[in-house]
Structure 1
């Protein structure tokens, strides 16, 4: 499983941001290897971590080539007061069973 983390400090959003964000999210969720999304907010500084989980690298590569994604990358400085991307391979998950595997899913 692959995890793509989009860690950012929100800035000022406009109509272009909302349009592109919706297109990217819809496309990511439509990919056959899409697993889930978890979004976390750090209340002390407003940082956001949006984590998209995919079965493998194939769909991560498809998402990276999406025209709306490329357009958003070109305009990122307009909407964020800083960002970082972390792509990682998840080799396992575990817990006590009281949190479902899709806990934190945002639909």
Structure 2
């Protein structure tokens, strides 16, 4: 499994951003191997973390060629003050107590 952590400092979102963001999420959900996402907001700042779960690197790469996703990456300065993407291969997960809220999200 692979995780893509998208750390962002949001700027101003407009209607075009909302439409593009919705299209990108739909493209992710339509990609074989997409497992879900989780979002966290930092209580001490406006920083947001979005973690996307992917079954394989191939699935992630398949999503990466989506035209809406490419367009959004080119225009990031219009909507974010800063961003950082980290791709991580998960070797093992374990824990207890989260039940239906366990990773990856269903």
| TM-score normalised to structure 2 length | 0.91
The equivalent of 1:87 in structure 2 is: 87
* Alignment partners' CA distance in 2, 1:11 and 1:88: 26
> Is this contact kept in 2: 1:12–1:79, CA < 8 A?
yes
CA 1:74–1:30: 2 relative to 1, 3 Å: same
Q: Which runs of 5+ in 2 are unaligned?
A: none
- TM-score (norm: length of structure 1): 0.90
Deviation for aligned residue 1:69? 0.5
The structural deviation recorded for 1:102 is: 4.2
Q: Tell me which residue corresponds to 2:15.
A: 15
**How many Å apart are 1:90 and its aligned residue?**
0.7
Equivalent pairs, count: 106
- CA distance in 1 between partners of 2:53 and 2:10 (Å): 22
Q: CA deviation at 1:46?
A: 1.3
Q: Partners in 2 of 1:100 and 1:82 — Cα distance?
A: 34
